[in-house]
Structures are given as C-alpha cells and as structure tokens.
Amino acid sequence: MPPLPQTQRLPADRAHRVEWVTLGLYLGCVGAVLASLFVLAPWSLGLAVVVLTLALVLHSSISHEVLHGHPFPSRIASEALVLVNPGLFVPYLRFRDTHLAHHQDARLTDPYDDPESNYLDPGVWEVLPRPLRWILAWNNTLAGRIVLGPILSQMAFMRCDWRAIRQGDAQVIKGWLLHLPGVALVLGVVWAAPMGLGWYLLACYAALSILKIRTFLEHQAHVLSRGRTVIVEDRGLLAFLFLNNNLHVVHHMHPRVPWYRLPRLYRANAARYLACNEGYRYGSYREVFARHFWRAKDPVAHPLWSPDP
C-alpha cells in the first residue's frame, strides 16, 4: 500500500518524547482503582464495583499501549508501570509476548500459530464431545463470549502456559515468576480495603467480559490476511475504554501510533483502510450487539484453515 502522507506520520522525534496523555491516563486509572477500593466502597459498594471494573478494563488497554512502546522512550520504564496487574489473571509479560506474536498478520486466525485465535482446527472440532461443542458454539455468540469467554480463555491460556513451564520454557516461567509478587501485593491491598475480596474478583471477571466485546470480532477468517481485521466506527464509552483499538486495522497497520492519534488517522484515510480490509466494518458496538448478541459471528471450526503453508 502507498505510504501515509507526511502530515499523518509520527513526528521524527516521538521516540524521544514522553507521551503525557497516556501517562496521565495511567495515573488516573490507578487513582480510580484505589478510590473504588477505599473511598467509594464504604459509601456505595455497587458504584465502587462498577468504577473498579471500568478502571480494570482501561488498565488492560493501557498495558496494550505499553507493549507497543508507550508512554516512555524506555521500554523498561514503560513496563514498570504495568508489571503489577490489578486484573490479576494474566501476567503482563505473557500478554506482551503472545500479543506481539499475534501481530504477525499472515498468521491471523490460524488455530495454532495465532495465540489470540478463537478458531479451532476442523479436525479437532469434529472429535470434541458434543457438550463441549455446544459450549464453544455458544461462546461464538456475543452473549456467550461475555459470560463464558473469560473462563474459557483463561483455562486455555493457563493450560498452554503450564505445558510450556513443564517443558522448561524460560520466558514463560519468567513471566509468571514476575507476576506472582504483584498478585500478592494487589491481594494485600484488597485485604486492607473495605470492598472485600469477593467483590474485587467479580470486578476482575467483569472487566475481562467487557474486554471480550472488543476481541469478539477483531479478526475473521479470510483468504487475504489484510481482510481479517475489523473497523468498528464507535466513538462512545467502549471505544474510550479500548483506547480506540476498535479501529483495529489502523492499529495493525501502524502499531507504534499512540491510541489518541488513531481516530484522526482513520478519518483522514477511511476509504483506504476499508479498501485494505475488504470492507470488514461495523458502524458501532450497538450494531455489533444487535447482530451478534444471540447469533454466532462465525463457526468455531476455521472455515478456511489448511495445515499447508
């Protein structure tokens, strides 16, 4: 594809700048987590859980920004911000490694080589027990993905990592060893807070459920790798919580562009991006809910998958 116009490229010295917008958002996010635990919980437990859930979603989106090189020029400094994950379930380093592997667009949706694929090898699908096939089919509706998606993906993720740990994979072991002290720290803070651990864990699960709305249709099976990544033209609360990652093909084409530049970049080149991704587009998350809340987006078995390269 032709290069972006000069006015839409990042400044040449961006690599030497601190992105204060992202840093300020991170500080506000951490403040919201602490406020929900210690300030809102004694006053209104329901409101505290809602605020905490939204803050945890935002923290995950900020972690995504960090692994793509924001907000500091130093990767070590940036990753120090999110190494402790208040969402508890996924170590940051494992999120980083699997997500960067996912960014190999030629492998998108591959049941084996894309770590974030929800498709299965058709041969595997055919031999699964009927109850499991029913569960996975429901998981391919948006309702199922919100309710069951977090536990199903966590089980698959931990099963894969446990297998890697047993095989002595040093990078996976490192990711979990650096994660566990942060889990202990977060649980210690929660133990001292008025909210209570059960409500905190509920917010963690709810945050994962909201994140499943974003990932539900980010990618589709398509013969062309450029036609596999979506655009959701949403400007509401979910787009903010996802830090504009709903403009997903823009992010995949320009992964180093910070979140607050993506909407302008898309608006200036909308026709170009939609031509690139073969028109894989939704007008809003309201449209996504209307079309897919009860109806599956696509089959569990990859409809185009072949073991041949």
Q: Are 208 and 87 in contact (CB under 8 A)?
A: yes
DSSP-derived secondary structure letter, 302:
-
pLDDT of residue 15: 53
Q: Burial letters for 265-292: b for 16+ Cβ neighbours within 10 Å, e otherwise?
A: bbeebeeebbebbbebebebbeebeeeb
Q: CA–CA separation, 148 vs 156, rounded Å?
A: 12
User: With bands split at pLDDT 50, 70 and 90, how would you rate the model's confidence at 306?
Assistant: confident
Is residue 206 assigned to a domain?
Answer: yes
Is residue 197 assigned to a domain?
Answer: yes
Is residue 37 assigned to a domain?
Answer: yes
Is residue 142 assigned to a domain?
Answer: yes
pLDDT of residue 105: 84
Q: Are 117 and 220 in contact (CB under 8 A)?
A: no
Is residue 291 assigned to a domain?
Answer: no
Residue-number span of the structural domain to which 91 is assigned: 14-214
Q: CA–CA separation, 178 vs 93, rounded Å?
A: 8
pLDDT at position 7 over 70: no
Q: CA–CA separation, 78 vs 91, rounded Å?
A: 15
Copy the structure tokens of residue 82: 């999110």
Q: Summarize pLDDT for 137-158 with one digit per residue, the tens.
A: 999 999 999 999 999 999 999 9
User: Partners of 229 in the beta sheet?
Assistant: 219
Q: Summarize pLDDT for 14-29 with one digit per residue, the tens.
A: 556 899 999 999 999 9
Backbone angles phi, psi at 305, to 5 degrees: -75, 140
Is residue 201 assigned to a domain?
Answer: yes
Which are the contacts of 98, defined by CB distance < 8 A and separation ≥ 6? Answer: 115, 116
DSSP-derived secondary structure letter, 11:
P
pLDDT of residue 11: 45
- The residue among 63, 47, 28, 19 whose CA lies nearest residue 243 is 63
pLDDT of residue 94: 97
Kindly report the number of other CB atoms within 10 A of residue 141's CB atom. 18
Q: Per-residue pLDDT averaged across 199-215, rounded?
A: 98
DSSP-derived secondary structure letter, 37:
I
User: With bands split at pLDDT 50, 70 and 90, how would you rate the model's confidence at 86?
Assistant: very high
Q: Summarize pLDDT for 223-278 with one digit per residue, the tens.
A: 999 999 999 999 999 999 999 999 999 999 999 999 999 999 999 999 999 999 99
pLDDT of residue 146: 98
Q: Summarize pLDDT for 113-145 with one digit per residue, the tens.
A: 998 999 999 999 999 999 999 999 999 999 999
Number of domains in the chain: 1
- The residue among 142, 109, 178 whose CA lies nearest residue 287 is 142
Q: Summarize pLDDT for 40-70 with one digit per residue, the tens.
A: 999 999 999 999 999 999 999 999 999 999 9
pLDDT at position 2 over 50: no
User: With bands split at pLDDT 50, 70 and 90, how would you rate the model's confidence at 213?
Assistant: very high
pTM metric for this prediction:
0.92
Is residue 308 assigned to a domain?
Answer: no
Is residue 198 assigned to a domain?
Answer: yes
Which are the contacts of 280, defined by CB distance < 8 A and separation ≥ 6? Answer: 220, 222, 227, 228, 229, 230, 231, 249
Copy the structure tokens of residue 169: 């994979």
